[in-house]
Every structure is written in C-alpha cells, then in structure tokens.
Amino acid sequence: MPGLTGAFGCFLLRQFIATIPSEIIESGLIDGAGHLKIVRAIVAPLLYPALATLGIFTFMGTWNNFFCPLVVTNSEDLRTVQIGLSFFQTQYGTADWAR
C-alpha cells in the first residue's frame, strides 16, 4: 500500500481524473447530487481502471525489488526469487560477468 501513494501514483491518478469530462460532473449536479455523492457514485467507478493499472505497476515494482529484501531477510527460507537466483549464481558460478 505505501507504493500507491508515491509521486507516480499521485501523477497517474491526477492525470486520469483530469480526463473525466466536466459534463458528467455537471449532470450529477443538475440531478441534485452533492459533491460527495458525485465523487462516490460517478468519479470512483471511473477510477477502477486507473487504480488497477497503478496496482499492477506497484506490484511489479515491489516484486522486482532487490535491495530491501536483501537487507531485511537473514534466512534462506525468507528470500525472494531474485535474491535466491543471485545467491545461486554466485554460489555455483553459472555466469561469467567479466567478459
């Protein structure tokens, strides 16, 4: 969840909300809905695709994170796939990076 509130998430959601036509919000006002009702009934359902996209980007960024799990974990059973592959590579020398 902390990754959703970063600068990229704020920018993505702000740009997506800016593309919502003002006529949709005006139609809610004409129908007698208050500002909270407009946000809850009109804007929030329109945000689902942007929130899903942001969730996927955040998940992939966290999944591919290398440094934080390397520092936090001290047991081989708790390591992520990326760290396990890195240790496997250095232990068995499967790649020669000097070339």
pLDDT in tens, 56-90: 988 888 777 778 878 888 887 887 888 888 877 77
Q: What single DSSP character describes residue 64?
A: T
Q: Is the pTM of this model over 0.85?
A: no
pLDDT at 4 > cutoff 70? no
The angle, 0 to 180 degrees and rounded to 10, between the axes of the packed helices 7-18 and 48-63 is: 160
Q: What is the pLDDT of residue 15?
A: 94
The per-residue pLDDT of the chain, averaged, comes to 84
Of 81, 72, 55, the closest CA to residue 2 belongs to 55
pLDDT at 99 > cutoff 70? no
Q: Confidence class of residue 40 from pLDDT cuts 50, 70 and 90?
A: very high
